[in-house]
Structure 1
Amino acid sequence: MNAVSRWFDHHMSKLALAPSLVLVTVGVYGFIAFTTVLSFTGSKMLPNLQNWVGLLQYQRLWANPRWQVAVENFAVFSALYIGLTLVAGLLLAILLDQKVRAEGALRAIYLYPMSISFIVTGVAWQWLMSPDLGLEKAFHTWGYTSLRFDWIKDERMALYCVVIAGLWQATGFVMALFLSALRGINPEIISAARIDGAGGVQIYRHVVVPALRPALLTALVVQAHLSIKSYDLVIALTRGGPGYATELPSTFMYGFTFSRNEMALGSASAVVMLCTLAAVIVPYLATELKHDRAR
């Protein structure tokens, strides 16, 4: 019994982690591998692993006009969504770091949107932006009948509605990351910079901003990940419309896999999305490992 007890004591942590490790291996990496294999087949409604077609699905994917629109929309959406959330989050963090009154209440208000799902955000902003129900209707009721806010029905402006909704939800999270990093800066370093004659702008430029690098990288990776998998926000807000004006790779993948019975083509688009995400995460992980080794 002593030997058995010692064995259990030595391996208890591994045994506790084993079920989670198996579930992650099968449920995540196993299905990633399965999706990748499907992308090289001619599968339609059901998987058909014997119908091997090589890179045909990827050729069809990049020749599809709807996919090209989705990629263009994604480039615009991700650039605005990631850039604006980083800038707005940093500005809010700097504001709250000035020991303003009611900081706790403001922090809770900014963080609240992140506690709700993208589905709820999409539905709420759909109501706000609807000309029949939202802001335009309210202003017309108040007498401002010349005001027009019908972006959600305009093919040229609908994508910016998605950006606004995403910005509203994610900015508080980025603010929390930057605020935590700001509060972690050694105040003696800032005091030394002031003694050396550095002004407020110089302190932020040469001391504070470089110290925010880990938080910046983390926020960048998280926001890039959310922009790639923003299916629920788009579906709840615009359903990909009007037309294909707000079509993104995530909505394209779902539509062709489950609505058009193009499982292999949808799998190919999912693999492209995975590679895009890996292009963001892998350099980040490599950079972090390099810094860990340097320490």
Structure 2
Amino acid sequence: MSITTFGTERERVNSHEQSFRTTLGRYASQIALAPSIALTVVFVYGFMLWTIYISFTASNMMPNYKWAGLAQYVRLWSDPIWIRSVVNLATFTVLYIGLTTIVGLFLAILLDQKIRAEGLLRLVYLYPMALSFIVTGTAWKWILNPGLGIEHLVRLWGWEDFKFNWLIDPQYAIYTVVLAGVWQASGFVMALFLAGLRGVDEDLVKAARLDGAKAPAIYRRVILPLLGPTFLTVVVVLIQQALRTFDLVVALTGGGPANSTHLPATFMYRAAFERSQLGVSAASAVMIFMTVVAIIIPYLYTSRRKNHNE
């Protein structure tokens, strides 16, 4: 082989290597993400589709792929515990969103006054959000226990007739879940509102003050109307958290007393692993999923439309 031919061959090899490196660099991110995407498709979306299919089969203790139509959904909506869990979810969601929003907004307005030790107070308010729901539920279970917590402490102070037994009262137990949930999420909501408050145009506030408006009127008529997107975000996030509340109930009440604090997520787990009703559990999972989709799609559509108009 001549020197000229060898040089041409070497240039061709180098050209191929350069082209391969260029192609590899162009698609490096896609190649790196490919395993994660494959695992997500199989273990997330694949199991989602499997769950939807199982909800239309005759599955009971074990998967049974015989088509049964809407039979599992009929069984689901005929179960009094499921009906109770749906009612509990409505009660929990309304109170959870309302109280958390009020407390979070109040704390944000308080910190927005440029008070001393703002950093320390913000850390204190955000600390509960760093705890897991299991820890929160366990702590509030001790606090609300009639023999150990608030009732016992107040009686030691001399009020021997004082009663605060919501934790063991089926009529009021769901409100203990609300109380613990509000305590944990208020700091996060405060952070969202505080970011919104710090983003308000100071010129509008100054103009309102020049017109003689007091602080309450400024917040009510100027600042709060500008926080509409923040309110929407807070509501959507809290609804998602309410729908997937599981470990807080497990740690605090375990679904009791007398199944009075079950939520759809805890019902789904109990149906699958304690009552051996795989099909009913799958049907309840589909109902939860459809509820989330019904909330997320309008939110995404509204956000996209707003960004498009801007």
Q: Quick one: distance in 1 between partners of 2:171 and 2:245?
A: 19
The equivalent of 1:6 in structure 2 is: 22
Give the 3 Å change call, closer, same or farther, for CA 18–186 of structure 1 in structure 2.
Answer: farther
The equivalent of 1:112 in structure 2 is: 127
Residue of structure 2 aligned with 1:60, choices 75, 78, 81: 75
The equivalent of 1:256 in structure 2 is: 271
The equivalent of 2:156 in structure 1 is: 141
The equivalent of 1:229 in structure 2 is: 244
Q: Deviations over 1:62-115 (max 9, x none)?
A: 111111111111111110011111111111101110111211111111100000
Q: What is the deviation of 1:13?
A: 2.1
Rg: which structure is higher?
A: 2
Q: Quick one: distance in 2 between partners of 1:273 and 1:107?
A: 34
Amino acid paired to 1:113: P
Aligned residues: 294
Q: Quick one: distance in 1 between partners of 2:213 and 2:64?
A: 67
Q: Deviations over 1:249-291 (max 9, x none)?
A: 1111111111111101000001101111112111111101101
The equivalent of 2:43 in structure 1 is: 27
Gaps of 5+ in 1: none
The equivalent of 1:243 in structure 2 is: 258
Could you tell me the TM-score, scaled by structure 1's length? 0.95
* DSSP-derived class of the 2:58 partner: coil
The percentage of counterpart residues that share the same residue type is: 49
Amino acid paired to 1:263: L
Q: Deviations over 1:3-61 (max 9, x none)?
A: 11211221122223222222222222221111111100111122222x11011111111
1:18 matches 2:34: yes
* DSSP-derived class of the 1:144 partner: coil
Give the 3 Å change call, closer, same or farther, for CA 195–250 of structure 1 in structure 2.
Answer: same
The equivalent of 1:123 in structure 2 is: 138
* DSSP-derived class of the 1:2 partner: helix
Could you tell me the TM-score, scaled by structure 2's length? 0.91
Task: Identify which range, 261-270 or 21-30, moves more after superposition.
Answer: 21-30
Residue of structure 2 aligned with 1:215, choices 212, 230, 238: 230
Q: Quick one: distance in 1 between partners of 2:158 and 2:39?
A: 59
The equivalent of 1:268 in structure 2 is: 283
Q: Quick one: distance in 1 between partners of 2:140 and 2:200?
A: 37
Q: Quick one: distance in 1 between partners of 2:147 and 2:210?
A: 59
* DSSP-derived class of the 1:269 partner: helix
Alignment of 1:141-160 (within 5 A): 141-160=156-175
Residue of structure 1 aligned with 2:196, choices 181, 191, 213: 181
Q: What is the deviation of 1:197?
A: 4.7
Amino acid paired to 1:159: I
Q: What is the deviation of 1:206?
A: 3.6
Give the 3 Å change call, closer, same or farther, for CA 193–27 of structure 1 in structure 2.
Answer: farther
1:36 matches 2:42: no
Gaps of 5+ in 2: 1-16
The equivalent of 1:83 in structure 2 is: 98
